[in-house]
Amino acid sequence: MSRFRTLVTTLALTLATAPHVWADSDDEVTYREHIRPLWENTCAACHGAASPYLGDFEEDKERYERELKGPRMDTYADLVFFVAWPDTGALMRRLDDGSSTADGKPGNMYQYLGANEEQRQENLALFKAWVGDDEAWTMKRPGEISKEELERFELEY
Domain boundary assignment for the chain? 28-150
Q: For 105-139, what is each residue's pLDDT tens digit?
A: 999 999 999 999 999 999 999 999 999 999 999 99
Half-sphere exposure of 91 (CA within 13 A, CB side): 27
Please, which pLDDT band fits residue 14 given cuts at 50, 70 and 90?
very low
pTM for the whole structure: 0.81
Residue 15 pLDDT greater than 60, yes or no: no
CA separation for the pair 77, 80 (Å, rounded): 5
What's the rounded mean pLDDT across residues 41-62?
Answer: 97
Residue 77 pLDDT greater than 90, yes or no: yes
